[in-house]
Amino acid sequence: MYHRMRSVLPTYIKKGRKQWKCYFKRKLKHDEEEHYPSYDNCIHTTGYIPYNSDEEELRNNSAFTTQIIMFSRDELWSFLIKPQIAKLYSKPGYPKHYPNTYLPEYTCMTHSKLTLVAKAIDSKLLASDYYSWIDLGYFRDVSSRKKYFYLEVPNDFDNSTVGVNQVYDVPLKNVSARSIILGNKNWIGGGLFLGKPDVLKQFESQYKTRVMYYLSQELMNVEQHILYSMYTAEERKKNPITVEVQPYLPGKQKVISRDPWFYLGFLMYNENINASYRSYRS
3-280 maps to which CATH number? 3.90.550
What would the mean pLDDT of 125-137 be, rounded to a whole number? 85
In the chain, what is the greatest distance between 2 CA atoms, to the nearest angstrom?
58
Which amino acid belongs to residue 272? N
Say yes or no to pLDDT of 25 above 50. Answer: no
Beta-carbon count within 10 A of 175 CB: 19
In the chain, pLDDT over 70 holds for what percent of residues? Answer: 72
Residue 232 CB contacts under 8 Å (≥ 6 apart), including other chains = 172, 173, 175, 176, 177, 180
Give 134's strand partners: 192
Residue 211 to residue 232: CA distance in whole angstroms: 15
Name beta bridge partners: 162: 245
pLDDT recorded at residue 39: 47
**What residues form DSSP beta bridges with 1?**
none
* pLDDT at residue 97, as a whole number: 97
Q: What is the CB neighbour count within 10 angstroms for residue 180? A: 24
How many CB atoms are located within 10 Å of the residue 122 CB? 10
Give 114 or 68, the one with higher predicted confidence: 114
Strand partners, 66: 42
- Cβ neighbours for 95, distance < 8 A, ≥ 6 positions apart: 101, 182, 183, 184
Q: With bands split at pLDDT 50, 70 and 90, how would you rate the model's confidence at 43?
A: low
pLDDT at 63 over 60: no
Predicted model pTM: 0.81
More confident residue, 63 or 214: 214
Amino acid 238: pLDDT: 93
User: Quick one: pLDDT at residue 66?
Assistant: 61
Query: Residues with Cβ < 8 Å from 236, sequence gap 6 or more?
Result: none
CA distance 127 to 118: 13
Look at residue 205 in the predicted model and tell me its pLDDT: 98
- What is the distance in angstroms between the CA of the first residue and the CA of the last residue of the chain? 32
Q: Which residue has the higher pLDDT, 159 or 127?
A: 159
Residue 111 scores a pLDDT above 80: yes
Which of the 8 DSSP states describes residue 166?
A: B
Q: Domain locations in the chain? A: 3-280
Amino acid 123: pLDDT:
84
pLDDT at 142: 85
Q: Rounded to an integer, what distance in angstroms lies between the CA atom of residue 282 and that of residue 271?
A: 19
Q: What is the pLDDT of residue 85?
A: 98
Q: Report how far residue 209's alpha carbon sits from residue 204's, in angstroms, rounded to the nearest whole number.
A: 9
Please state whether the peptide bond connecting residue 99 to the residue before it is cis, i.e. omega within 30 degrees of 0: yes
- The whole-number average pLDDT for the span 122-150 is 84
For residues 18, 99, 228, 201, the Cα torsion angle rounded to the nearest 10 degrees is 0
Res 14: pLDDT: 44
pLDDT for res 191? 95
